[in-house]
Copies of this chain bind each other. A is one copy, B any other.
Amino acid sequence: MFFASDNAGPAHPKVLDAMVAANDGYAMGYGADAIMDRVRDKIRKVFEAPEAAVYLVATGTAANSILLATMAQPWQTIFCSPMAHIHEDECNAPEFYSGAKLTLVPAVNAKMTPDALRQSIEGEETRGVHGPQRGPISITQVTEKGTVHTLDEIKALTSVAKDYGLQSHLDGARFTNAMVSLGCTAAEMTWKAGIDAVSFGGTKNGLLGVEACVIFDSKTAWEFELRRKRGGHLFSKHRYLSAQMDAYLTDDLWTQMAANANARCAQLADGLRRMDHVTLQYEPDANMIFFRMPRAQHARVLSGGATYYVMDGDHTAGDPDELLTGRLLTDWSMSKTVIDDFLALMVG
């Protein structure tokens, strides 16, 4: 019963099979492998973007930071939610790569609102050369609170950005969970909704460590390649990244894995909603749940065999009745039974 993170689970066996299959003889390095040609085609097809620039890196922080560095200038500011991963969980990497700073836009349910975005954008550049200049916006989809922007919500944000001539980035570390949740296509959730570049995550959804960077207008492709190399993120034995992504996009493996993660999350949410001592904090649109419960209950469940993070305090010491927030992540590999077992444990 491990709900601490969707990057703590195993990779899908088919992904490892593909890596083993790729481990045959010699292959050109640095992205010139034949599998990468196939991957590029598949991603362009999935995104209905035959001209898109497509690159692989191994971590989400690298994907976000290098993409943002191609979209922002060092004297600009990037607009994002206060809960954005690029703000809270990347130890200044986006700033390191881009030189830009981040402007935190007030959010509801971890989503920037269009009005707040407009107001934040208006607030910058009122000082001529003195203040940071307006740079791109970055939308986290799934949000760090487990909510999913609807297509209309994405469009509303990118539309505000376009009003000011700004580009839009999508941090899609949980891209497929969101896409499955919305029942839409990859194209609909990105360029058709005004997104210019996307971190298309695989690591949290069954890969070992691969994220694709997709730039719809490929004019910054060469810059991306140089920034990737300069950041130390160009893999010599690139075929092992390619192979993962290749398996991911074969026979709908990517959507099936996300669908299972989301279904298990829904099953979990259903169970939790029925418990009097539990309150859900956000609408769990994808594979992440935040819930409130008395400290004593957390202590009981966590010592009873479950693993998850309590976000706002020590569950082992303090007022037993104080409400603390727990975070639960489901992943592709989780079975119905595990959820049932956990719910049974939660009931007590």
Contacts and interface: CB of A to CB of B under 8 A. Distances in A.
Nearest to A27: B8
A208 to B, nearest CB: 5
Nearest to A238: B209
A237 B225 contact: no
A222 to B, nearest CB: 8
Contacts of A26: 2, 4, 8-10, 307
A232 B10 contact: no
A85 to B, nearest CB: 9
A177 interface: no
Contact of A132 (B91, B209, B232, B234): B91
Interface in A96-129: 96-97, 99-102, 104, 127, 129
Given A29-B8, A226-B75, A93 B231 contact: yes
Nearest to A128: B30
A342 to B, nearest CB: 13
Contacts of A61: 229, 232, 234
B209 A240 contact: yes
Nearest to A66: B232
How many copies altogether?
Answer: 4
Contact of A229 (B10, B130, B209): B130
A208 B8 contact: no
Interface in A193-243: 203-204, 208-209, 223, 225-237, 240
Identify which of A27, A57, A208, A236 gathers the most chain B CB atoms within 10 Å of its CB.
A236
A139 to B, nearest CB: 19
A92 interface: yes
Contacts of A25: 2, 9-10
A120 to B, nearest CB: 12
A13 interface: yes
Contacts of A90: 130, 229-230, 232
Interface string A170-206: 0000000000000000000000000000000001100
A147 interface: no
A58 interface: yes
Contact of A92 (B100, B223, B307): B100
B129 A30 contact: yes
A7 interface: yes
Nearest to A207: B237
Contacts of A234: 59, 61, 129
23 contacts: A2-B25, A2-B26, A8-B28, A10-B24, A13-B23, A16-B23, A75-B92, A89-B127, A89-B130, A89-B131, A91-B130, A91-B226, A92-B99, A92-B132, A93-B229, A93-B232, A101-B101, A101-B102, A129-B228, A130-B229, A204-B236, A209-B237, A233-B233
What are the nearest 10 A-B pairs in CB distance? A62-B232, A7-B236, A61-B232, A2-B26, A75-B226, A91-B229, A89-B130, A91-B230, A208-B240, A8-B26
